Structures are given as structure tokens and as C-alpha cells.
Structure 1
Amino acid sequence: MNAMPQHDDDPAARAADSRLVRDFGLLIKSATRLEQRIDGALRRECGISHTMLEVLIRLCRRPGDEVSQRQLADDLTLTSSGTTRLIDRMENAGLVHRVPSPEDRRLALVQPTTDGRTAFLRASAVHARVVEEYFVKPLSADEYAHLTHALGRIDEALRDGKQ
């Protein structure tokens, strides 16, 4: 039987176990688990997905803003067809409605309905509770401040970076 190479002698094993790979994996794993907790609580308690809440956040953030499906797709990093399907489901649930853009008839603007605003308020309370429990409470105030500052700097570098 051939023995597997020792970790120290295997460049692939060293690369897979590198600090950068492990640290980034921890970030992704934590974000994914938090997303799953939020999504599960929203589905159970409000009957909407986390992605639907993200749409409602965008639509309710600045009342009166004209938001197109294209802008939502960009904001949520979804495909155009994925956004269309999501808005179809939300429209069927009575959370949003589409109106033609007065400037460009090719664009549909998305607006929250009264029921959508009510669902948003309920869902935002659930979201806040889960985020507080699993994102804020495990850290000291200083750790939380450092984390959010660092995440802001990473986001800024990614937005400003040319690819």
C-alpha cells in the first residue's frame, strides 16, 4: 500500500492548508451560516426569503426613489432573469408592483405595496434579532467595531479595485 505523502512534503496540501485559504474559508462559512439563520427565521416567521427582504430594503430605504429591475439585479448581484423571477414571485405575493418608467418605456420600475411595507417592517425586526444574536453578541464592543471597520475597508478596496 502506498502511503500518502507527508503534509510538509506535499505542496498541494500546504497550499490547501494555508492561512489565507483557512481565513477566507472561515469568513465565507460564517457568512453562509448567518445567511442561512436569517433566511430560515424570515421564512418561518414572515413567509419571505432573505433575498426578498433585500429587495424590500432597497425599495423602502428611500421612499419615492425610482428603482428599476436592472438596478435591483446590480444591487443584489443577481442575473437579469433571476431578478425577473424574484420580482414575479414578490408581485404574486402582493409585496411589490411594477410600473412603467416615465423616461424609458423599456424599463419597469419596482415599488413596494402597502402589504410589502408591512412585511418589510415585520421582517426587519426578525432580521435585526438574528443579526444581533449571531453577529453582534458573540463579540465585545471593541471587536465588533474593529470587525465592521475592517469589513468596510475590504468593501472599499473591492469597489475601488480595477479588475
Structure 2
Amino acid sequence: MNPVNRESDEAARVANSPLVHDFGLLIKAATRLEGRIDTALRKECGISHTMFEVLIRLCRHPDDEISQRRLADDLTLTSSGITRLIDRMEGVGLVRRVPAPGDRRSVLVEPTDHGRAGFLRAAAVHAQVVERYFVAPLASADYERLTRSLGDIEKALGDS
């Protein structure tokens, strides 16, 4: 067998390996679920899934001071990406920027009353989609095992 055919066969074997396949299933399922959530939130609430994620972080601990930098880190967005997102959210009245006490260079973001009300509507839509496509397809014990396993994976990644 010539070296090109050997390399081609090896590449095919690796591309079809169980690890590549199984991880692909996880990514495909997560991507499709995120797409369903985003579509439902845009249709029912007029916000993107990413905007919803910002509102989760802002509403989770109402007394926390959350900077744009922290939001960017949490959502794995660039500095310019979070700035554009917060600009859009501020433009539709979901959030407001406020100066950080004691640090003129830092800007905090907080939800408006409209943003909190929108978050509550969006949370109900989010819950419906998650229940239908993430929870309902699994038996209760399988769902518990899956979420425990995802937590274990997250913990292992956090330790790296």
C-alpha cells in the first residue's frame, strides 16, 4: 500500500472513531438546542439567547456589581463583542450602564425594570424549550445521570 493510501485510511479511521463520534453528538445536540432556544426567545420575547444569558447573570444576584469585562469573560465574548451587545440591550431598554464606584475605567451593567420583566417572560419560554428537548426525551434516572456527568466534566475542565 502506498503512503498516501495508508494516511488516507488512518485519517478515515480516526474521523470515524467513537470519541470523535460521541463528542460530535454532544456538540450537535447542544448547538441544535441553543438554536431552538434562540429562535423561541426571538419569536416570543424579541431577544437573543445571548441577551438572555446576560440577563441571567444580572438577575441571579441582584446586589452584585457586574462589569462588562466580567460579562465578556462569562460569555466568552471579546471586549468589542460585549460592548456591541450591551449597546443593543441598552438601546431597547433592557439594561443600563453605570459607573463603577471607585474605578472610573470600569463600567457596571444592571438590568432595568423592563429588563427584569423581559427576563421573567424569557425564562418561561426558555424553560419550555429546555423541558421539551433536553429533559422530556430522557428517563428521569438518565437525566439525573446526564446532568451529574456534565457537572463532572465542567469540574474537570475548571481544574485544568
TM-score w.r.t. length of structure 1: 0.93
SS in 1 for 2:40: helix
Match of 2:9, as an amino acid? D
- Superposition map of 1:92-107 within 5 A: 92-107=91-106
Question: 1: distance between equivalents of 2:127 and 2:5?
Answer: 47
Structure 2 gap segments, 5+ residues each: none
Displacement of 1:6 in angstroms is: 8.9
Alignment of 1:2-151 (within 5 A): 10-151=9-150
Q: Which of structure 1's runs of 4+ aligned residues deviate more than 2 A?
A: none
Q: Which amino acid aligns with 1:54?
A: E
SS of the aligned residue for 1:107 comes to strand
Which residue type is aligned with residue 36 of structure 1?
G
Q: 1:157 aligned to 2:153?
A: no
Report the number of matched residues. 156
Residue identity in the other structure for 2:75 = L
**Structure 1: which 5+ residue stretches go unaligned?**
none
Identity %: 69
Aligned-residue offset at 1:133: 0.2
Helix, strand or coil at the partner of 1:138: coil
CA RMSD of aligned residues (A): 1.4
For 1:68 and 1:124, the matched residues in 2 are separated by: 22
> Secondary structure in 2 aligned to 1:105?
strand
Instruction: Please give the TM-score of this superposition, normalised by the length of structure 2.
Output: 0.95
